[in-house]
Amino acid sequence: MEKKIACITGATSGIGRACARYLAEEGFAIIGCGRRKERLEALKAELPEGTPYHFLVFDVRDREAVAAAIDALPEEWQSIYVLINNAGNAHGLDPIQEGSLDDWDAMMDINVKGLLYVSKKILPGMVERKAGQVINIGSTAGKEVYPKGNVYCGSKHAVDAITKGMRLDLNPYGIKVMAINPGLVDTEFSLVRFKGDDDRAAGVYKGFDPLQAEDVADLVRYAVTRPQHVVLADVIILPTAQASTTLLHKKE
Ligand code: NDP
Ligand code: 8X3
């Protein structure tokens, strides 16, 4: 492959999908990952004409499926240069004493362990080639804790720590490790958190101008196109109306 390859998890929606588009515009070949195959197929048409594109269907919770999909990449797709660990969601918003075990499992298994399973398959190649960039999509929920955010915040605090650990361990190999931590972004995130309740999900983004997936993708694009000696180690991006996870200025 002449072009550098960017592998994006969670490319079927929101931030991941916008990253696929923006990185393709920057000339990257794209590997899009997710569970919804029809969306991964449809993504091809959203990329600039001629973008080399390959997709992998797997659930990040299934470590064998992750390994099998990445092992089965055609040879020309194996030298992944940029990994965007983006797949993830919140499940539920409940006080700790009322939380659902299934929701807790989902958040820890997807946001934390899934990120690790994918990284485990891709980082050794970067180390061998002494080249690569990793962007972990964290969250303001990885920097602060908000009421009822308990386990989601815990999963994103884990992503924050894992990102720092990756940066330490990969430092000798010239591999950049970056955390991009968004505040409120209007994607399918709240629809997933509230289990398909459209009205409740839409309410999260009413009364202010939330970030759009493209705003985050624009920052990802900026991050991966810096010169080799520059790394955006840890960046928070917020809608202007948001000052913290709990302070949001909504219009009357
Ligand atoms: P979306 O719900 O729009 O996208 C989530 C993506 O993750 C989808 O592509 C989905 O693909 C993928 N995904 C979820 N579960 C799995 C799984 N088990 N296996 C494989 N892929 C999975 O949300 P966002 O774009 O907003 O979220 C992307 C990332 O950004 C997440 O890590 C989220 O925590 C983070 N974030 C979001 C913020 C927001 O306010 N929206 C703010 C801060 C961080 P599929 O369902 O097809 O598998
Ligand atoms: C998503 C942002 O505030 O809904 O990570 O947790 S928040």
Kindly report, residue by residue over 93-138, the tens digit of the pLDDT. 999 999 999 999 999 999 999 999 999 999 999 999 999 999 999 9
pLDDT tens by residue, 58-88: 999 999 999 999 999 999 999 999 999 999 9
Question: What is the CB < 6 Å shell around ligand 2?
Answer: 139-141, 149, 152, 184, 245
Question: Could you say which architecture CATH assigns to the domain 5-237?
Answer: 3-Layer(aba) Sandwich (3.40)
Phi, psi angles (nearest 5°) of residue 181: -120, 95
CA of 121 to the centre of ligand 1 (A): 20
pLDDT at 1: 83
This prediction's pTM = 0.98
The strand ranges marked E within 44-142 are 53-57, 80-85, 133-137
pLDDT at 141: 98
Q: Of 7, 9, 15, which is best to mutate to test ligand 1, by the most ligand atoms within 8 angstroms of its C-beta?
A: 15
pLDDT at 243: 98
Both tokens of 250, joined, read 């909504």
152 belongs to the catalytic site: yes
CA of 17 to the centre of ligand 1 (A): 10
Which amino acid, 25? E
CA of 87 to the centre of ligand 1 (A): 5
Domain regions of the chain by residue span: 5-237
Answer whether residue 252 shows pLDDT above 90.
no
* Average pLDDT taken over every residue of the chain: 98
ipTM of this predicted structure: 0.99
pLDDT at 248: 98
Which of 82, 99, 202, 91 has the alpha carbon at shortest distance from 141? 91
